[in-house]
Structure 1
Amino acid sequence: MDTLLDTLPNTAPGRHRRRSSVPALVAVLPLFLGVLGVGEVSAQSTELQRGRTVPATLAAGDTVRYTIEADEDDFVLGEVNQISVDVTMRVLDPDGTQIGRFGGLGRGIERFGGRTPRAGTHTLELFVADDEADEAGRYEITLLRHEPVATDPRRLADQIMSRFDGEDSPGGAVRVWRDGKTLYSKTYGMANLAYGIPFEPDTRTNIGSTSKQFTAFAIMLQAERGLLSLDGDIRTHIPELPKFDETIQVRHLITHTSGLREFLNLLRMTGRRLDHGDWIDRSELIDIVQRQPALQNAPGAEWNYNNTAFGLAAAIVERTSGQDFHVFMRENVFGPLGMTGTMVRPSTRHIVPNMSEGYTPGPDGYRQIGDLGGAVGAGSIYTTIADLQTWVENYANPRVGTRESIDEMMTSFVLTDGEETGYGYGLSVDEQGGLKRVSHGGADVAHRSMLVYFPEINAGLTTQSNHAQFNSGVAYELAAAFFKDAMETDEEDEEDGAGAAGEFDPQDYDAEDFDEFTGRYALDAAPNFILTFTREDETLYTQATGQQRLEIVPTSDSTFRLLAVEASVTFLRDEEGSVAGATLHQNGDQHATRLEGDAAEAWAPTPGDLADFAGRFFSEELETFYTFTVQDEELVMHQRRLDQASLTPGEEDNFSGGDMSFAFERDRNGQVIGLYLSNGRTRDVRFARVP
């Protein structure tokens, strides 16, 4: 997903170190995104004027420049009508530093915009996304809005959502409330592009993993009724599950601490193309668990985001109630609360009246992408923005469920080592502006969702969209605007010792101070994926395994922002003050451990070394083959349904590529006999070498 002008602060909580994957109902996305190269830049540039449409042509290898004179904190919105050419745009600040990039939609109207970080001439560079395009194509560019960033929260919401407005774009919705009063409610864009149906307040939209709190709530209801125990063995209710060395309790399912494989990531390993709409049936979850040879971690010892667990939680609700999950939720939750616009979609084949279709940009326009299968419990809820307000108001004044159950859901779970996870039961728990914040984001294939609640001021808001490029985290920025009176200011933060982040000037940062951070850091969830940090004079860089080097800039003395993609890094110290790790903030938090000594030495295998890994490997657990060949002095992965991928060496006998990591296994004679495959939430799936 291409990045936009930086419109949001990084709000990922820094104190939670156990988060290892994305809090969304999607498989883990690649970390970092490749930066497209550009050809020769035209010598001249055209200044964009609001309301004026400029027609032009563009050919592969050429770059066209447009300029916008802006003050600091101006809001800019424009669009490019890609008539016969696929255009990619990148934005440069007055110093020539890339601060954003837009693209992905091959034909039709692509909008760009956001907040300008400083005053001066900002440059928009346009180039052809397809380097192999034979002929020049036509496009038109228009600057739609250029105005100061709004201080009124309602106008700010309108600015933020404007990129997803109009008859040509998938849309979205925002709703804000406090003390039972709706402060703002507005919809944008289209719910259905094929039939020209606009996004309306009563449009039902897929909230993805925001659904998890509903599943946890259903578990709590059954516990209140004495039909299950949170401390009970999940095999009490699903006896066909295997007996592992340690007991998985019901509580472990709804806190992401079960140790089970994550089914979406696991199925991707088998070649299932979730992005192509491959069918997944709910029954597969139990089969997946039955085939898992051992837990990935001791239950309760590690937080690892897990859709399998919530799917099993829904099955436990069914078995303890005697009702299908969608019926249970309608009769026990949605109905009693008056949430008439809310339903669980039992499968992707079931009709959802008045629903928004999900869309993702494609080379020939928007594509209708559908929903993930097998998502009941982990996702699959369609609802309206008004019903979400009703739902959160039940947190404040329970009409269904007890005060004790809701409070327990909103309490951070404590791991067996005593560390908090920052996650309760189906809910993230952290702070914003000195207030306790309870929230959950969601993402199906194309739908995006965020629901935020501040219990101390009885206020909340939700952002929803059916556009795959929508950043639902704008909910946090809107919360800061709408509830400003109740949140601490930068000055108050500074008095508390937190510092005023807005006063940090990157120009004052001494690049030599970065030397204590330079080195290599391995992601805990994928140890063969290494982040390498380096410095060349005054310029700071990071490079991920198998990807190109990207420039980073400081945002404080220990936090840094990537310029080419929407990501940032926080360096972490141990009790002695030494830099021991880092957290990559990109679609969630990924903790990485610093490599020291011999572990930091890069391995450079020879063509002869690579030949040791060539061959075919089979997993009994997945019933899947992988083949490896040596081509042009690279090890190349082949799988029947996945794209061929060249692998990058990491530590000795370890490779990464195709968004996975491969740890090869040798016998006592040094012969490669197998490998262990990982891709974030699912790890160490064994493959044996076959003749």
Structure 2
Amino acid sequence: MCAMLVLASAAIAQPHDPITPAADARFGEATATPRPGFAVGVIQNGELIHESYWGYANLEHQIKIDAASKFYIASMSKQFTAALIGQLIEDEKLSLNDSVRTYLPDLPEIYEPVTIAHCMWHTSGVREYTSLLLIRGDDLRGQDRMTHADALALISQQVDLDFAPGTEMRYSSSGYVLLSAVIEAIEDTPFREVAEQRLFDPLGMDNTLFDDDHGEIVLDRVQSYRRQDAGAHGEWRSWLKHFDVVGDGGVLTTLTDLEKWDRELSNGKVLGKTLQRFLKTQGVLNDGTELPYGGGLWLTDDRAVESHGGGMGGFISDQIRFPELGVSVYVLANRNDDFAFQGWAFAADVLTKLGLDNPLSSAEPSLAEGSFETDNADDLKGAYFLQKRNNRRFVRGHPEGGLALHDGGDAFLARLHPQSDGSFLTVPGLSRVAFSSEEPALTMTFETDTYAYTGWRYDDKPPSSIEQVRDMAGRYCSNELKSAFELIIDDELLLFQQQNAPPIQLFPTPEGSNVSWNGNDRVWTGAFMLKKVTSSDTEVMGFDVGDGRVSGVSFHSCAPQ
């Protein structure tokens, strides 16, 4: 016990702090030996009522995490970019309805209908550049260097959008990269300096900056880590940050600086009430549908919860605000393992300790015994492919009767409760699921208050012999990504080779791998989906490639090198 207290930084003593026991329970065990850890803060009515620091900022030099530690907060940074957009609107230097090409005229014409609002609310259709990096063959763990100019160039190379701007919402960091470029163009000043002058300096956030140069010496910079590979030395491995892209991410900050920002989100005393309201205004689709996202913040319909998370490399961050309760929770981690993802559970602990009701906990309706049964259950079972998400869902029988919805890995998500109109409600969750017999296959539509997706039932039986996938062999090129991959037959194996990376065995599927076949014509490689495109006479012409944020990236058959 004594060793644990030495290795895990204790909570800073504060009078009447009921949170410390909950923080001890959540984070103490995770840092009981020299390990990366956490900075944890709880704010109530504008005051930091709890702060605690656990584990090490740097394992090699045995530097503990403390109040001075600067964490990379990844996508939590988006709210600062949105705040700068809001200020420029107040200054009448731009409008939400302006096309991004007004300020970035070198973008291709496909970006003409993309507005500032579309980029901020994730409704632009602009493809997620981090997904494109993986699809073109960059290092899966982000170890290839990526500058801000590189990201803009990759976004500018795209020949199509994923959907018409304003017609749907799909989270895309590319929109915020474009916003940061717009801000630089308007101010004629580097983005990092604009943020310092307009946001960080006025708020006294002296330990906060946009990190646009990973090689820069920054005092108290926290190093991130991941679990060591099997068979390698030691428990932890450095996960170096080589990303210099800003706007969508990029902020280095401390817990005490985030307290200052949180106070501004609550009262708007320094930057103004207009900006405060701007950040908390829900976006809308072209048809007027309100979205769960504002200015870099996720928003519940009743505004009871405002939040954002972030993850890049070994850094994980959570910001969870309950504005009506006057409570905010921040958890910053420099490790990317199961222990790192505790922000929401800890926030629930905090509300319990403070004697407050959790606005996210809603009781499911009482359902009568046997009410899950449905006459046509067998007709609806099967696998459904979600084309736009490059994923799948399963409808299975439930051990207690009726149907259940399973995720892409075939793990249980929810039971399906029949409704009088023939649709179903998920329990838990109360989302609507409807089925319809449309050609060429039965479809399933999953619908919440803020988004929907449709899946088509298909034969998900994986290939059983190399002959069933032999026609996939060849070299395939993408003009817009300027990259290529090969599918290689090696005796009875099908291998996927991307640039200089080691080949990945796709068939037979290696035990314990992330490779997953979705029928004979599409396979998840562990990072993205390859879907075979054939001609009318079934000749393989190429592949559509995508993941959960990008769809329809075309690779065509091309000559071997």
Same fold (TM over 0.5): yes
- Name the SS for the 2:394 alignment partner: strand
1:260–1:295 Cα contact (<8 Å) kept:
yes
Does residue 474 of structure 1 match 2:337?
Answer: no
- Name the SS for the 1:453 alignment partner: strand
Does residue 485 of structure 1 match 2:353?
Answer: no
**Equivalent residue in structure 2 for 1:373, among 231, 243, 252:** 243
> Which letter does structure 2 place at the counterpart of 1:389?
E
Alignment correspondent of 1:291: 157
1:499-532 Cα shifts (integer Å, max 9, x gaps):
48xxx99xx88886794774223235434x3233
CA 489–675 in structure 1, closer or farther in 2 if over 3 Å, else same: closer
Alignment correspondent of 1:519: 382
- Please give the alpha-carbon distance, in whole angstroms, between the structure 1 residues aligned to 2:112 and 2:101: 12
1:314-372 Cα shifts (integer Å, max 9, x gaps):
11111111221111111211111111121111121122211211111103321111225
- Please give the alpha-carbon distance, in whole angstroms, between the structure 1 residues aligned to 2:413 and 2:533: 39
1:360–1:367 Cα contact (<8 Å) kept:
yes
> Which letter does structure 2 place at the counterpart of 1:688?
H
1:570–1:583 Cα contact (<8 Å) kept:
no
CA 465–430 in structure 1, closer or farther in 2 if over 3 Å, else same: same
**Equivalent residue in structure 2 for 1:612, among 422, 447, 471:** 471
1:391-441 Cα shifts (integer Å, max 9, x gaps):
01112221343323321321221212333331112110016xx76111100
Instruction: After superposing the two structures, state which structure 1 stretch, 386-395 or 155-164, moved more.
Output: 155-164
Correspondences of 1:659-678 after superposition (within 5 Å): 659-678=527-546
CA 556–628 in structure 1, closer or farther in 2 if over 3 Å, else same: closer
> Which letter does structure 2 place at the counterpart of 1:531?
R
Alignment correspondent of 2:282: 412
Does residue 353 of structure 1 match 2:219?
Answer: yes
1:48-79 Cα shifts (integer Å, max 9, x gaps):
xxx8x9xxxxxxxxxxxxxxxxxxxxxxx9xx
Instruction: After superposing the two structures, state which structure 1 stretch, 253-262 or 403-412, moved more.
Output: 403-412
- Please give the alpha-carbon distance, in whole angstroms, between the structure 2 residues aligned to 1:436 and 1:541: 30
- Please give the alpha-carbon distance, in whole angstroms, between the structure 1 residues aligned to 2:177 and 2:322: 28
**Equivalent residue in structure 1 for 2:115, among 240, 249, 267:** 249
Unaligned runs of 5+ in 1: 1-50, 54-76, 78-108, 112-150, 562-568
Q: CA deviation at 1:231?
A: 0.9
- Name the SS for the 2:243 alignment partner: coil
> Which letter does structure 1 place at the counterpart of 2:333?
S
**Equivalent residue in structure 2 for 1:593, among 442, 448, 454:** 454
CA 649–635 in structure 1, closer or farther in 2 if over 3 Å, else same: farther
- Please give the alpha-carbon distance, in whole angstroms, between the structure 2 residues aligned to 1:580 and 1:165: 44
> Which letter does structure 1 place at the counterpart of 2:82?
A
Q: TM-score when scaled to structure 1?
A: 0.67
1:246–1:299 Cα contact (<8 Å) kept:
no
Q: CA deviation at 1:657?
A: 2.5
Alignment correspondent of 2:189: 323
Q: CA deviation at 1:308?
A: 1.5
1:536-578 Cα shifts (integer Å, max 9, x gaps):
8559988776x6x55x3868966579xxxxxxx87632499x9
Alignment correspondent of 1:388: 258
Alignment correspondent of 2:439: none
**Equivalent residue in structure 2 for 1:458, among 323, 326, 330:** 326
1:288-324 Cα shifts (integer Å, max 9, x gaps):
1221111111111121111221112111111111221
Does residue 644 of structure 1 match 2:504?
Answer: yes
Correspondences of 1:10-25 after superposition (within 5 Å): none
Alignment correspondent of 1:572: 432
Higher strand share: 1
- Please give the alpha-carbon distance, in whole angstroms, between the structure 2 residues aligned to 1:302 and 1:372: 32
- Name the SS for the 2:384 alignment partner: strand
1:157-199 Cα shifts (integer Å, max 9, x gaps):
2211113334511111211112222221111111111111111
Aligned residues: 517
1:575-604 Cα shifts (integer Å, max 9, x gaps):
99x9944589xxxx99653434xx457575
Alignment correspondent of 1:116: none
Alignment correspondent of 2:80: 214
Q: CA deviation at 1:649?
A: 4.6
Q: TM-score when scaled to structure 2?
A: 0.82
Instruction: After superposing the two structures, state which structure 1 stretch, 436-445 or 280-289, moved more.
Output: 280-289
1:449-506 Cα shifts (integer Å, max 9, x gaps):
111222223331211111112013334324432554354697xx55xxx548xxx99x
- Please give the alpha-carbon distance, in whole angstroms, between the structure 1 residues aligned to 2:123 and 2:65: 37
1:360–1:467 Cα contact (<8 Å) kept:
yes
* RMSD value, Cα: 3.7
- Please give the alpha-carbon distance, in whole angstroms, between the structure 1 residues aligned to 2:334 and 2:522: 39
> Which letter does structure 1 place at the counterpart of 2:256?
A
Alignment correspondent of 1:165: 31
- Name the SS for the 1:451 alignment partner: strand
Instruction: After superposing the two structures, state which structure 1 stretch, 666-675 or 225-234, moved more.
Output: 666-675
CA 652–311 in structure 1, closer or farther in 2 if over 3 Å, else same: same
